[in-house]
Amino acid sequence: PMYMETSSAPTNIATIKYWGKADAKWNTPINDSVSVTLNQDDLKAVTTVAASSSFEKDRLWLNGEEEEGAAANKRFRACIDGVRALATAKKDADGKVLVTKEGWSRMKIHVSSYNTFPTAAGLASSAAGYAALVAALTLLFGAKEEFPGQLTTIARQGSGSACRSLDGGFVAWRKGGEKADWSDSLAEQVANEKHWPEIRAVIMVVSDAKKDTSSTAGMSTSVETSLLLKHRAETVVSKRMETIEKAFLAKDFETFGQLTMADSNQFHATCMDTYPPIFYMNDISNSIIRIIHAYNKWAGKIRAAYTFDAGPNAVLFTLDEYAVEVGALMLHYYPEFGENYVNNPDFGMKIKA
C-alpha cells in the first residue's frame, strides 16, 4: 500500500531580519527575527508526500521537475528524518494497526511540491516550501511534538525562515543556544492572524530572476567579514524585537513601520559592509524607498513601510484605509506594475497579510 497526504504553507516576510548563522549544522541564527505570515491563498507552497515500502529511494519533484540526488540533501533529510522520529502508529477506523511507528522507517518517501510564486526571487520561497514539507510529513506520519514548537525546529533545519511559516499572524524565531542540541531555537506565535486584520502587504515583484547570491552563501560571508553585522546581532536586534512585538500587539503602525524600514535598511547595509559586498536591491528598489519616505513625509505619519529580503522585490506594509492610495502611488511611478498586476500574477501581487 501507499499512504499519501497534502498540505500547504504560506510564505512570511521578516520585519526584523534573520541574517547570519550561529551554528551551520543545526542552522541556527545569530539573532532573533520576526515576520508576518502572508495570506494562505496568495503566496504558498503546496506539497504532497507519499510513503511506500515499494519505493526504491526518497525522491523530490519541484514544480514537476525531479531534483536529482535529493535523498542525500542535508536539508531534505533533516525534515524527513526529523518528523519521522516523532511518528505514531497509523490505525484504521476499527483501531487495527496499519503501520507501526517502526514501520514508517521501512518506507521510502516521494515528495512533490508546487510554488504559486517565483522561486528564489527573494520572496522566501524556501520558507513556504520547507514549512509545507514539514506540515505534510506531520500528517503522513501522525507526528506528535514532544514540546511546543518542536516541529518548527525541524522546519528550521530545512531553511531558517521556514520555522516562522508554520503559524499565521506575527511569528518570532527565538535564536536559542542555551541547550546543546539547539532545541530552544524555535518559532513562537506573537499574535495570530485575526489580531490585526487591517494590516496589508503589497508585493512589488521588481524582478522574478533568480537571485545571484543565495541567502546561505551571503550570510556566511557577512558573518566572516562584516563588523556591522556583529554589532547588529549583539546590541541592536534584541531591543528592536521587544519594541516591534509590543507595537504589533498594540496595533501601533507608526512604530511597526519605522522599525520595519530601519531593519531592512540595516540588513542591506550589512550586505554592503560584507567583503566583497553583496547588492540585493536595484535602482527600482531604491526609488521605491525614496517614494515611500516622501509619501510618509507628506502624510505627516507613516502610512506605508517597505522591506526587502535577499532580492530587489519590495514588500510594502500598509493599513486598509491607505491600501488604495499606496497602490495608486506605485502605479503613478510604475504603470507597468499595474498592468502586470492585472494580467500576470507573477509580477505584482496585492495581498492581505
Q: Is the bond into 118 cis (omega within 30 degrees of 0)? A: no
Q: Is 30 in the site for ligand DP6 (CB under 6 A)?
A: no
Instruction: Decide whether 32 or 329 has the Cβ nearer to ligand DP6.
Output: 32
Using CA atoms, how far apart are residues 154 and 27, in angstroms rounded to an integer?
Answer: 10
Q: What is the nearest approach in angstroms of ligand DP6 to the Cβ of residue 170? A: 13
Toward ligand DP6, which CB reaches closer, 220 or 255?
220
159 binds ligand DP6 (CB under 6 A): yes
Among 9, 14, 136, 233, binds ligand DP6 (CB under 6 A): 14
Nearer to ligand DP6, 199 or 219 (CB): 219
Neighbours of 239 (CB within 10 A): 10
CB of 109 to ligand DP6, least distance (A): 21
DSSP secondary structure letters along 16-56:
E----EEETTTTEESS-EEEEEPPTTTSEEEEEEEEETT--
Asked if residue 28 binds ligand DP6 (CB under 6 A), the reply is no
Is 119 one of the binding residues for ligand DP6 (CB under 6 A)?
no
Q: Binding string, 297-326, against ligand DP6, x = CB under 6 A?
A: ------------xx----------------
Give the three cell numbers for residue 215: 541567502
14 three-class SS? strand
On whether the CB atoms of residues 16 and 237 are closer than 8 A, the answer is yes
Cα atoms in the Cβ-side hemisphere of radius 13 Å centred on 302 = 20
Give, as ranges, the residues between 36 and 55 that touch ligand DP6 (CB under 6 A).
Answer: none
**Quick check: 215 binds ligand DP6 (CB under 6 A)?**
yes
CB of 126 to ligand DP6, least distance (A): 5
Is position 27 an interface residue for ligand DP6 (rule: CB under 6 A)? yes
Binding to ligand DP6, residues 260-279 (CB under 6 A): none
Query: How far is residue 286's CA from residue 289's CA, in Å, rounded to a whole number?
Result: 5
Candidates 31, 112, 115, 126; binder of ligand DP6 (CB under 6 A) is 126
Phi/psi-derived region of residue 119, left when phi > 0, alpha when psi is between -120 and 50, beta in every other case: beta
Q: How far is 343 from 16, CA to CA, in rounded Å? A: 32
Binding part of the chain for ligand DP6, among 17-25, 103-111, 203-211, 252-260 by CB under 6 A, reads 17-25
CA-to-CA dists, residue 20 to 17, 186, 222, 239, 338, angstroms: 10, 16, 7, 18, 35
Q: Which residues bind ligand DP6 (CB under 6 A)?
A: 14, 17-19, 27, 33, 124, 126, 159-161, 215-216, 309-310
